[in-house]
Amino acid sequence: MNLSIRQETEKDHRNVETLTRMAFWNLYVPGCNEHYLTHILRPHPDFLQALNFVAVLDDQIVGNIMYTRSHIINGDAEKIDTVTFGPVGVLPEYQRQGIGTALIRHSTELASQMGYGFVIIHGSPGNYCKHGFKGSKTYNICNSDGKFPVSLLVLELKKDLLSGKQWKYVDSDVFNFDEAEAKKFDQQFPPMKKEYSYTQEEFKIAVNAYIQ
């Protein structure tokens, strides 16, 4: 497979939004809004263009990954800058061929070179633990409510940064978008049928389950 990875360009924007829509449709909810998130990420101040990549196969964009700035803080007001990826998607017909893995490996290696110590995401452990992610409680990193969701996952890029303290994860406010605007944006694309899938139940369990 002659796969190449390069940075996304402005000419790629609509192709990436279409790809993201196809990759996430009916995955976590009936329909999806990840393509709208892709659209609003680019102009946001937390967006990291240096970690914005597409995977290209035979001159076709088949996958992409995008990153935002995030951070963790502790009770002593110490702060560590982190990064968060998502959406990361691959066209359905090209999934399970190592493309997502290649995008994650390429971008996380660069994030480490840029000096970041952690990649923190919300995702399915079944999808990401194979890439080296661990549950957030392993690093004593909780969410804004002081809890440890099963879906909060951490990839350690640099050792010995946390000093055994309790940390709280703070992600970008770009993820708090208007659902009505997302629905309006989706109307720009060809109609697709919204349906139930078992992956939606898996996602619901992961985001509502906590490690004690």
Is 48 among the domain residues? yes
CB contact at 8 A, 82 and 117: yes
Is 149 among the domain residues? yes
Is 68 among the domain residues? yes
Note the pTM of the prediction, 2 decimals: 0.94
Is 177 among the domain residues? no
The b/e string for 147-165 (b: 16+ C-beta within 10 A; e otherwise) is: ebbbbbbbbbbeeeebeee
Rounded Cα distance between 99 and 69, Å, is: 23
pLDDT digit string (tens) for 15-63?
Answer: 999 999 999 999 999 999 999 999 999 999 999 999 999 999 999 999 9
Is 139 among the domain residues? yes
pLDDT digit string (tens) for 136-182?
Answer: 999 999 999 999 999 999 999 999 888 788 999 999 999 999 999 99
Q: Is 43 exposed, middle or buried (0-12, 13-18, 19+ CB in 10 A)?
A: exposed
pLDDT digit string (tens) for 57-115?
Answer: 999 999 999 999 999 999 899 999 999 999 999 999 999 999 999 999 999 999 999 99
Rounded Cα distance between 135 and 153, Å, is: 5
How far apart, in Å, are the Cα atoms of 119 and each of 11, 39, 112, 155, 197?
28, 22, 9, 5, 28
pLDDT digit string (tens) for 183-199?
Answer: 999 999 999 999 999 99
Q: For residue 13, what are the contacts with CB-CB under 8 A and spacing of at least 6?
A: 39, 42
Phi, psi of 178 (to 5 degrees): -80, 115
Q: For residue 137, what are the contacts with CB-CB under 8 A and spacing of at least 6?
A: 148, 211
Total Cβ atoms within 10 A of residue 144: 9
CATH of the domain at 39: 3.40.630.30
Is 183 among the domain residues? no
Structural domain span for residue 55: 3-172+188-202
Is 181 among the domain residues? no
Is 182 among the domain residues? no
Number of structural domains found in the chain: 1
